Chains A and B, each alone.
Chain A
Amino acid sequence: MRRHEAPEPGSGDSQPGIPNEPLIAFVGQPNCGKSTLFNALAGFKANTGNFPGTSVAITQSRVAFAGLHARIVDLPGTYSLTPRDGAEEVTRRFLSEHRADAVIAVVDASVLSRSVELTLELLETGLPMVVALNMMDEARRKGIEVDVAALEARLGVPVVPTVATRGEGVVAVAIRAMTAAKARRPGIPPVYDRDIEESLAGLQEAAPRGLADSLRVPQRFLAVRLLEADPFLLKHLDRDAANRDFLDLAAAQRQHLAELHGWPEESVFGSHRHAAAVDLFESVATVRSRTRRSKRERLDDVLMHPFWGLVFAALALAALFLVAFLVGDRVASLVQRPFNALGQALLPAGVTGFWADVGRGLLDGIAGGAGIVLPYLVPLLLIMSVMEDVGYLPRAAFLVDGLLHRVGLHGKSIIPLILGYGCNVPGILGTRILESPRDRVITALLVPLTACSARTVIILALVAATLGPLAALGIYLLNIVVTALAARLLSAIVPGTAPGLLMDIPPYRIPPVRAVLRKVWFRVREFLVAAWPVLIVASVFLGVLTYLGIDRWVNEALRPVTVGVLGLPEAVGVTLFFGILRKELSLVMLFQALGTTDVASVLTAAQLVTFTLFVTFYVPCVSTLAAQVREVGWRWTLVGVGLNTSIALGVAVIARLAMGG
């Protein structure tokens, strides 16, 4: 049934592994702790999240225990094998293309009856399987006791209790899965009501000879998926005219069952599997009723309160920026000091020539990156990762959904937008948590408007340092208002419909420190690998331009905008233009262009604000653009560029006029 020499359609990783190195797939519903379990085995190689659908990208790793080797892969969380979005489809395809030798079905013991439904579906695939009964600690707190031996007997596969956050049972699961991959013994698929079983038997009988084998699935799985009207399979089978009669029979059976049970056709089978899951749950678990309100409920009374919850959210955001103001500013000057000293020692102000300009560019590039990463990016990402893994972000989405709907946004959009304040790139990647393409486009075009750490640096250096922290706060508030207006505009332009909010609210969890650090490291690494080199190259490039005197031409060409429209000195033209390469370059280049770091001595207050606002709103850096192209395509990226530029010009001109610049 599972022949590995067969070609694997659409497979992305057909690299040959070590012989006898089975591929083990982690499958589970969102928030069941699947990624945490995976990471506990894989070490510092994967990303983990507490928000439904965070693990969109497939992560792979190699492990070895007790002399056994395996490749492990973390598949996106899915509620069922009938895919509802791109991420879930990845999981479904991975399983139906038989790329796994065994499955670790991760089950959240604290919501066992729901979680085990996916396990029942997985049993039907006939893949060798081990169940990781995760979150045993949470289940015990809720008063749920599970009879592991009874569950094993019912499912016909090994069941290992685990607490992934503490690493309990993790190695045992891996070893059992490796053994299962070798033994190739499938579990016991669920048995349904008699009429369903009759339909299944009829379909298995009528199935075209060799069809199940050609799909490399068990006969029963094929019949089950057809009764479920699995769109994935129906589309696949419909391509071959020889299957028409069989598909018609399946449709007739579905209708027959729907009439028999008085339920809508598409939910008959799902309801029966649900009943099977509930029956299983009741036979293997006992629940002691709780008497007192849990900590979660008491915490939610405040954090999800219609009024106090919003107050808390606002305070949390304010705290986020306070960290940027207080910590970042101090650390930044500490980080910059050695670079400045080095610059003065190696290239004193009098030295000129090609290599001096290039050298200054190189040093500025390195210093610029260091000045962003350590003081601003790391603390912001740290706080955001904690908020994400504790389970606060879904609650924030719940609270603001109503408000965001007023401007045509989805509640979940708040998450990429918040992430955008750290760095726009993870923000744009974060739009994948949104189900509808429309919401994804709107949010991906809004993220570049949020003031990322690079722009925070500029706001702090130019506005907070010269006009005071209140002025900087004003810029942030303006930023939020403008983003809301842009959302309104985009929701009128971007076509399509958006399903309403539907989101699991997981219990609060204290994330393992390692998991948080790992996540921060991944996002910082993204910056180090993708953005910092660009920053350094761009900075050197700028040094060359300075040497060649090309910056003067750029300034001349941009003069109508910089001097005419914005009322800024001509010298900032090159700064604005090449700021696209990296936002933080704008500051470095501004210092270069003006020939001083004491900008207040050269620019008026109005000019400072105009410049800062323009830089804040206008085209994001190349890394962000690249991410945007990848997520929403060229056309929408161009719309975004147009939007950014118009907003930047508009806001900057209004500021100039208002401040009498």
Chain B
Amino acid sequence: MTLADATVGRLLKVIGRNAPRHGGGETIAGLGIHVGEEVIVVRAAPVSGPILVEVPSSGVRVAMGRGMAEAVVVEPADAAA
């Protein structure tokens, strides 16, 4: 599962990263979304627009286009690791 298909409000854990289709993936970590981090999709923009991702541990909030979100592999945080 990637961030692009995550349900709003559910606590997730980042387990991996792919290269986004149109590049620019390096910044994802720079903005504070690291592998191993827990994240929540706080809200989604209209017309299949971006999603707003929060990293609860740091309070960082990042807007992410669908292409970028597809590059972040996640699993539910409560799933047995």
A residues contacting B by CB (< 8 A) are 79-80, 82, 84, 110-114, 142, 144, 263-264, 266-267, 270-271, 274, 278, 281, 300, 304, 306-307, 310, 394, 397-403, 405-406, 411, 435-436, 497-505
Q: Beyond the given A271-B35, A398-B50, A403-B46, could you list 4 further A-B residue pairs with CB under 8 A, ordered by the A residue number? A: A79-B30, A398-B45, A435-B24, A436-B24
What are 22 contact pairs spanning A and B, CB under 8 A?
Answer: A84-B26, A84-B30, A111-B58, A113-B58, A114-B32, A270-B34, A271-B35, A300-B43, A304-B43, A399-B49, A405-B47, A411-B49, A411-B50, A411-B65, A497-B23, A500-B64, A501-B65, A502-B31, A502-B64, A502-B68, A503-B62, A504-B31
B34 touches A274 (CB 8 A): yes
Knowing A113-B58, A114-B58, A500-B68, the reply to whether A264 touches B17 (Cβ < 8 A) is yes
A501 touches B47 (CB 8 A): no
Indicate whether A142 sits within 8 Å of B59 (C-beta atoms), given known contacts A263-B35, A500-B67: yes
For residue A407, give the distance in angstroms from its CB to the closest CB of chain B.
Answer: 12
Most buried by B among A263, A310, A398, A405: A398
Question: Is the pair A502, B24 in contact by a Cβ cutoff of 8 Å?
Answer: yes
Determine the chain B residues whose CB is within 8 A of the CB of A505 once the complex forms.
52, 61-63
B79 contacts partner chain A, Cβ-Cβ < 8 Å? no
Taking CB atoms and an 8 Å cut-off, the chain B residues in 56-75 that contact chain A are: 57-68
A411 to B55, CA, bound (A): 22
CA distance A78 to B22 in the complex (A): 21
List residues of chain A with CB within 8 A of the CB of B34: 270-271, 274
Partner of B49, one of A84, A270, A398: A398
Residues of chain B within 8 A (CB-CB) of A304 are: 43, 45, 52
In the bound complex, CA of A596 to CA of B30 (Å): 60
The interface of chain B, by Cβ under 8 A from chain A, is 17, 20, 22-32, 34-36, 43-50, 52, 55, 57-68
Q: From A499, which residue of chain B is reached at the shortest CB distance? A: B24
Bound complex: CA of A645 vs CA of B45, how far in Å? 36
Complex interface: chain A residues within 8 A of B49 (CB): 398-403, 405, 411
CA distance A401 to B34 in the complex (A): 24
Residues of B within 8 A of A82 (CB): 26
Closest 8 CB pairs of A and B: A402-B49, A499-B24, A500-B65, A79-B30, A500-B67, A501-B65, A402-B47, A306-B46
How far is A110 from B60 in the complex, measured between Cα atoms in Å?
9
- Expressed in whole angstroms, the Cα–Cα distance for A363 and B32 within the complex equals 56
* Residue of A whose beta carbon sits closest to that of B24: A499
